[in-house]
Structure 1
Amino acid sequence: MSSRTSSRISSARSTPRAARLPWRDRAGRFSPLKGVTFLAVLAPGVWIALAWAMGWYAPKPVTEAIHQNGLWAVRLILASLAVTPLRRIGNWPKLILIRRMLGVAAFVYVAIHFALYCLDQGFDLGRVASEIALRIYLTIGFVALLGLAVLAATSTDAMIRRLGRRWQTLHRAIYVITPLALIHFYLQSKIDVTEAVFMTGLFGLAFAYRLMHRLAIPLRAAPLAGAALLTGALTALVETAWYAATTGAPWQFILAANLDVETAIRPAWWVMTVGFGIALIAAVRLPQGGNPGRAARFTIRAEEGAASS
């Protein structure tokens, strides 16, 4: 068993009861970081409920609530994926404390998303099952929902103890689940996939950072800026390919419009902006190497043992 897995298991066994509250740390003390994160993940749900109650989603409140809950589910998945690279790049080890909260919140939003769809179908479960089986975008979305359910169910301390080293392998499935959620988003969006493309680019950044770490490429400003350029270019190609395939328009014109900032700033530019911002963080926080120092790495390992995804 790896030292990292052993650390998770021993930490899970020693967790005080008070620490199970989402705004407390492993010692049972109030954590400002976790408290702010808890309010942040709760706020969209409160806003959606308020908008529905006030009639702001008329004339189709259920449809709009379904859309908004699904949108926030994908956003929270991406936020959870951003935790590990940001704590490495920015040398912020305590960020690991909020990863599980973000992941579980993503599942809660997608579960509400599905429940509202069932409501929209009059809770006719036979019809719901038929629609899922016959409509490919619903099939893909339902598979993503099941995957998130498994990850959420195995995010408890008890499941970490039970699964041991298999826990980390299982939770890498998020890199399969996220593309499924994005494909569902594309197919559901149909005409305007601007936000879906932007989220695809952000996922590309998160995956690029993971790959860089895996290949031992230093997380310094220059390599990170290169990753931003490459991911931005790939984002532009994804958007071009989507609209060329769905509209039949010449891809050259779509790509030219994608790169023309005078007409509109397309998702590829925003993805590059985010990537360059992260490269700037690396330059400011880790000016000498792109990886945390020995003391910081020790702290990160301790925090990893204290928080699961």
Structure 2
Amino acid sequence: MKVIEHTIDDGRHLASLYNERFADGSDPHCHPVTEQEFAVGLTQTLRHDSPMSAVGVHALRLLAVERAGKPVALSHIATEAVTTDGRDTRRGLIRLFAFAPGDRAAGQCLLEASEARLMSDPVEKIVLAPWSAGVRFMHSGREEPSTLQPHLLSLARLNRYAVERTQHIMTCERIGVDKPALRDRSMNVDVEARESRGRRPNVVTRLMRDGTGIGSCELESRGHFLQAEAAQTAVFVHDLEVHEAFQRSGHGRYLLRRALWEARRVGFTNASLCVLPDNHRAIMLYAAEGFSIAGTGHQLGKEVD
């Protein structure tokens, strides 16, 4: 086996390897990407058409492990300047990491090569699947070291990576909600359709009273992040928020139902979201509205000796 470092342009062919490892139907919303989509998704920020340098992420590199001339594992690495406890430091990021479940040797070879390349910069810490610098075509970024990719999660843990952050991935396979009734006549609803890169819009639903915001629910079209046909009818619950003074009054449930109904009206058929595992009230709400836990994703980190 040997490790090859590619530029983004000459590494576009690795999109097929990513598709084999993540977009084969095993993950809720990792759809196949084209070579162009692969290149853009690695170099542009998650939601905006801006280079990763705009969010402080630099030195992007694409590594591949080859066996008998065929790529069998790939990673995308970068560095990021951060301030911790008033001190400026640099950390290494492994933004994308893919290898076959039965090929631990290739995975280990790739991980060691990725770490060595990052430590040559140098960095004080390495983060695997950083939520602050997600890859666009993976969107939520929770699918990598997760229960959906147990071989990757286990390889990282065997190499002394510690779990830093955790979220459940919840999915609703069919949006079937009816338009909810707004019981408080002093309130009104504002719905904003925002243009996306996909065929359907992003949708923001706000609950108001006398011009004062009570809460909101923001839905993102998967098509904003992915060109695949299946992504065009999928929506992601990016944010559901009710201001503290109005909580525990059913407003969150109303906003979620209304937002999903609005999404259904414009052609979305399924939904997903990410939620912290200790946010039990939210999990109960989502479960009652037809969402189930599809997997649990992690951000992992390791201090550099």
Shorter-chain TM band: under 0.3
More helix by share: 1
More strand by share: 2
The TM-score, its normalising length taken from structure 1, stands at 0.28
Structure with the larger RCO, 1 or 2 (CA within 8 Å, 6+ apart)? 1
